[in-house]
Amino acid sequence: MTTLRLRPRRAAVFSLHTSPLEQPGTGDAGGMNVYIAQTARRLAAFGTEVEIFTRSTSSDIPPVVELAPGVLVRNVVAGPFEGLDKHELPSQLCAFAAGALRVEARHEPGYYDVVHSHYWLSGQVGWLARERWGVPLVHTAHTLAKVKNAALAEGDEPEPRSRVLGEEQVVAQADRLVANTAVEAADLVERYGAATDQVVTIPPGVDLERFTPGDQLAARAGLGLRPDAVVLAFVGRIQPLKAPDVLLRATAALLERHPELRRDLVVLIVGGPSGSGLERPEALHELAARLGITDVVRFLPPQGGDDLARVYRAADVVAVPSYNESFGLVALEAQACGTPVVAASVGGLPVAVADGVSGLLVPGHGTEQWAEALASVATRPRWRAELAAHATEHAATFSWERTTEALLDTYAEAKRAFHSRLRIEEATA
Q: Output the known binding site for 1D-myo-inositol 3-phosphate.
A: 17, 28-33, 86, 119, 143, 163
- Give helix 381-395 / helix 367-378 axis angle, nearest 10°: 100
Query: How far does CA 22 lie from the centroid of its chain?
Result: 13
CA distance 299 to 234: 10
Query: How far does CA 129 lie from the centroid of its chain?
Result: 24
Annotated binding site for Mg(2+): 312-313, 315, 339
Query: How far does CA 311 lie from the centroid of its chain?
Result: 18
Annotated binding site: 17, 23-24, 28-33, 86, 119, 143, 163, 237, 242, 303, 312-313, 315, 325, 333, 339
Can you list the alpha helix ranges (DSSP code H) found in 134-243?
Answer: 145-149, 161-173, 182-192, 216-222
CA distance 395 to 338: 9
Percent helix, strand and coil across the chain, each to the nearest 5: 45, 15, 35
> Is the Cα torsion angle 247, 259, 317, 390 positive or negative in sign?
negative
The residue type of 41 is: R
Coil, helix or strand at residue 203 = coil
In sequence order, which residues have a C-beta less than 8 Å from that of residue 321 and are 6 or more positions away? 234, 242, 243, 244, 246, 247, 343, 344, 362, 365, 370
Coil, helix or strand at residue 298 = strand
Neighbours of 144 (CB within 10 A): 24
CA distance 74 to 14: 10
Beta bridge partners of 393: none
Pairing of β 71-76 and β 64-68: antiparallel
